[in-house]
Amino acid sequence: MTPAQRHASLVREIEASNYRYYVLDDPNVTDAEFDALLRKLRALEEEHPELATDDSPTRRVAGQARTSVVQVKRPVRMLSLDNTYSREDLAEFYRRVVDGLPAGETPRFCVEPKLDGASIEVIYERGRLVQASTRGDGVVGEDITENVRTMRSVPLRIAHERRLTLRGEVVIYRRDLESLNTEREGQGLEPFANPRNAAAGAVRMLDPREVARRPLRAVFYQAVEGAELHATQHETLDWLEKAGLPTHRRHAVVPWEGVWEEIETIDRARDDYPFETDGAVVKVDAYRHQDMLGMTSKFPKWAVAYKFQAEQARTKVLDIAVQVGRTGALTPVAVLEPVALAGTTVSRATLHNAGMVEALDLRIGDTVFIQKAGEVIPQVVSVDLAARDREHEKFRMPTKCPSCGTPVVRDPRDAEKPELGLGAATRCPNRDCPEQIRQRIFYFARRFAMDIDHLGVALVDQLVEHGIVHDVAGLYSVGPERIAKLAHMGEKSAENVFASIQRSKERTFDKVLCGLGIAQVGQVAARQLAEELGSMPEALALDPQALRERVASIHGFGPKMVESVVAFFQDRAQRAVMEELVAAAVGRPQPRAEVAAHGPLSGSSFCVTGVLSKKREEVHADIRAAGGEIHDSVKKTTTYLVAGDKTGKSKLDQAKKFGTTVVTEEQLYARMKGGP
């Protein structure tokens, strides 16, 4: 690719990840992977400055505002913080601070724990809480006033008559998460992986009554308006605490020489904090100095976040097992001597693939250090070679699949990021591998997908072992009589299983797509995809290019997600399964927005293309609400083509061919308001 093409691809991928993380709460990359994408983009722009446009992700705050509820535009942008990971990075931050201040000015620094939650802004006027909003894109957020009012940690009144604008994080304490997860498991729901996910998902719920059921707390760390009461950050934090407002209460003010010691203090104490923290924030303390230093287009120049290394534990490897996943990937798993880590007991840890085992030089019997990747999945990070008392035999990946005996392959297309020291995945190429079939069925039947009750591990094992079911579509051809003949299955149990399978036919198209396990497509993305494609028959009828264009039009779908979907639908084996599901009448068409019976656009049809001031799905919703119909492409019957910036020539040529009138977004909305 040319530099411009590489730049465009990176920008699309970063923006898609921003949308999934900040808007949909459906992240598709880790923090480290996202930071790596940004570093690549910055390096490319440094090499080719002409590519660094004002709308580049390197020059704006990450995230976009949701529009499902009222939006709030704030006069002072809500910036994110630049991240550092070493003492050298911190020293560079200090050099920039000193260079940015007049000679003779000696700054002091306020060091605070970095809260790991959902960012919010709260406004008080004349002592009353009048508004709360999410971060959104930094300028525009979503109104969550009623949600915040349900949080008992936030006072509805304070003894302060002037306008006060605060910023902070919504968090869930560790102990509260344990109670919440116990309750969810009792209801048959999936437990939350960590407090951050639970808080971020809850703070933007539409129903405040549901929010009130979550143990959310707000912790404030900044005053945007009202800071004129004080001269420094630490004085403001002290005042907020005295005013009865929730703060972390763990800040310290030191000269630069004491900053690292305070960071280490927070790191040592973080397990004792009631909330999650993944680092420390270093701020220039005096507001006068902050004003002198100013900010970049994305970060304040007077603050930086130092990110901690993940918590680790030391234990022994008792064995290395090999698991076969639903895609055929063979994953080595370290069987460990049980050890406590981040509040849980860990006895197994992923090793990803053979390349990671080789890079670690890991052997059975070794003493290792483990940590939780993203605070969720335990993984081995290093071997304590000093503790290796003898030469243990090296681990080697099997040459044949442990489930079906098929010779395995190393597929270079599955190569993972070289900077992580991982090589190509080892795969069993046999799609009929019993363990792959089992894993695909388990995934398809999970609650977030087709939600098939009574389909337990023992039953699936028997269905596959006896050759009764060969893929997920085969579930719908099994009668209760055949199920009843299996071990430990009476007539009543068989009827329950059969009924549950039949009920799953009524799941909507998005649940089917989710259950099929398309790479990079989770629950939220599956719903977006289903809303765009409509139904399985409609999706299967599209040629590859038409499918690619439709999927690429979905907001938040980057190039990799688009190609993943197209490849899945073009795979012969996957298409065969989907066609069987269609023949078995599995999956209802995705509900589509209703067109208003009457309105200023009644009788007209519209195709919307190009870059508009709103997301395309929002414009579609506005058109339908005004009585207009939506066409995915320009057809003979299309009345108007709504053309935004960067409209493709092919769409304009089609409009000319069919005599379709081309209008701007402004003309469209003028028509909605009764204009010409």
CATH of 434-506, picked from 1.10.150.20, 3.40.190.10, 1.10.357.10, 3.20.20.70, is: 1.10.150.20
In the chain the first and final C-alpha atoms are separated, in Å, by: 45
The CA R_g of the chain, rounded to the nearest whole Å, is: 28
CATH 1.10.443.10 describes domain 3-59: no
Helix (H) or strand (E) holding 574: helix 572-583
pLDDT in tens, 569-589: 999 999 999 999 999 999 999
- C-alpha span between 325 and 519 (Å, rounded): 13
Confidence band, pLDDT 50/70/90 cuts, at residue 60: low
**Is the pLDDT reported for residue 424 higher than 80?**
no
- C-alpha span between 591 and 609 (Å, rounded): 23
Q: Where do the domains of the chain lie?
A: 3-59, 83-307, 312-427, 434-506, 509-583, 605-672
Are the C-beta atoms of 330 and 323 separated by less than 8 Å? Answer: yes
What is the dotted CATH code of the domain comprising 605-672? 3.40.50.10190
pLDDT in tens, 589-618: 988 656 787 899 998 999 898 878 877 778
Q: Which candidate in 40, 73, 114, 560 is catalytic?
A: 114
**Furthest-apart CA atoms within the chain: distance in Å:** 88
CATH topology of domain 312-427: OB fold (Dihydrolipoamide Acetyltransferase, E2P) (2.40.50)
Q: So what's the pLDDT on residue 562?
A: 92
Confidence band, pLDDT 50/70/90 cuts, at residue 411: low
Confidence band, pLDDT 50/70/90 cuts, at residue 25: low
* DSSP 8-state assignment for residue 590: P
Structure tokens that stand for 339 in this block: 């050890």
Q: So what's the pLDDT on residue 182?
A: 78
Confidence band, pLDDT 50/70/90 cuts, at residue 415: very low
User: What is the arithmetic mean of pLDDT over 174-191?
Assistant: 76
**Is the pLDDT reported for residue 421 higher than 50?**
no
Core vs surface per residue 398-432: b (16+ CB within 10 A) or e:
eeebebbeeebeeeeebeeeeeeebbbbbbbebbe
Instruction: Identify whether 114 is a catalytic site residue.
Output: yes
**Is the pLDDT reported for residue 397 higher than 50?**
yes
Structure tokens that stand for 268 in this block: 């040592």
Residue 156: how many other CB atoms lie within 10 Å? 10
Confidence band, pLDDT 50/70/90 cuts, at residue 353: confident
Share of the chain above pLDDT 70, in %: 91
Q: So what's the pLDDT on residue 417?
A: 37
Q: How far is CA 148 from the centre of its chain?
A: 23
Tell me which long-range contacts 479-483 makes (C-beta under 8 A, separation of at least 24).
483/459
Q: Rank 91-105, 220-234, 384-398 by mean pLDDT and report only the highest.
A: 91-105
| 3-class SS of residue 114 | strand
User: What is the arithmetic mean of pLDDT over 231-248?
Assistant: 90
Decide if 434-506 and 509-583 have a common fold: yes
pLDDT in tens, 85-118: 889 999 999 999 999 999 989 999 999 999 988 8
CATH 3.90.1330.10 describes domain 83-307: no
**Is the pLDDT reported for residue 285 higher than 90?**
yes
Are the C-beta atoms of 449 and 521 separated by less than 8 Å? Answer: no
Are the C-beta atoms of 579 and 540 separated by less than 8 Å? Answer: yes
Residue 80: how many other CB atoms lie within 10 Å? 16
Mean pLDDT of the chain: 86
User: What is the arithmetic mean of pLDDT over 383-394?
Assistant: 85
Q: 């629950």: which residue's tokens?
A: 523
Closest by CA position to 170, among listed 131, 219, 137: 219
**Is the pLDDT reported for residue 28 higher than 60?**
yes
Are the C-beta atoms of 201 and 23 separated by less than 8 Å? Answer: no
CATH 3.40.50.300 describes domain 509-583: no
What are the φ and ψ backbone dihedral angles of 300, each rounded to 5 degrees?
Answer: -70, 140
Confidence band, pLDDT 50/70/90 cuts, at residue 149: confident
| 3-class SS of residue 593 | coil
- Considering only 436-445, 501-510, 518-527, which range has the smallest mean pLDDT? 518-527
Confidence band, pLDDT 50/70/90 cuts, at residue 558: confident
Confidence band, pLDDT 50/70/90 cuts, at residue 24: low
